[in-house]
Amino acid sequence: MLDLIQVKQGDVAVDNRQNFVKLAQALTDLGTTFEPPVWHYQAKGLFGRRAIAPAGSCIVTLVHKQEHFTVALRGRCLVVDQDGNKTEVEAPQVFVTKPGTQRALIALTEVEWFCAYAHEGDMPEDPEETFCCKTFEEYDEFTKALPAPGAE
């Protein structure tokens, strides 16, 4: 199963995107998908999401719509992004997630992550829909609908 996420630097982005689709489908077919425990937080201008994944789990994230902070609170995992970049993340660690990012995570130990998003208004009814897209095709449509830079 791990060969599904072994992608090389410089591969065509669309091919790498398909690796994530294949991996997510393989996890579903194997019956290994699960809903990690998630907590939501809100402060003026901010929305936070915390999740925990058990050791040995493999997770394919959704495609992120906006730039935000990601904080590895505890644990250690192997992370592969849609561009084929492989990183071992060991908490504590803080990094910026760029729009259009999707990752596959393999939890080497139990891991806990926190994401902080800019957000005005009430607590989102569906945070995943507010901050993420389910597919790259959905993300591409989302970005096409955004106003052009400098447009009001």
Show the beta-strand stretches assigned E in the chain: 38-43, 46-53, 58-60, 63-64, 68-74, 76-81, 86-90, 93-97, 103-107, 111-118, 132-133
> 133: which strand partners?
63
Phi, psi of 37 (to 5 degrees): -60, 135
Q: What is the DSSP letter of 138?
A: H
Convert the pLDDT of each residue in 13-42 to its tens digit. 445 666 666 665 665 565 555 577 889 999
Give the Cα separation of 70 and 64 in Å (integer).
Answer: 11
Give the pLDDT score at 122.
Answer: 81
Domains and CATH numbers, the chain: 2-143 (2.60.120.10)
pTM comes to 0.72
Distance of CA 14 to the CA centre of its chain: 17
Give the Cα separation of 1 and 59 in Å (integer).
Answer: 13
Convert the pLDDT of each residue in 67-103 to its tens digit. 899 999 999 998 888 777 888 999 999 989 898 888 8
At 108 the three-state DSSP class reads coil
Give the Cα separation of 150 and 152 in Å (integer).
Answer: 6
Q: From 29, 35, 9, 19, select the one nearest 104 (Cα to Cα).
A: 19
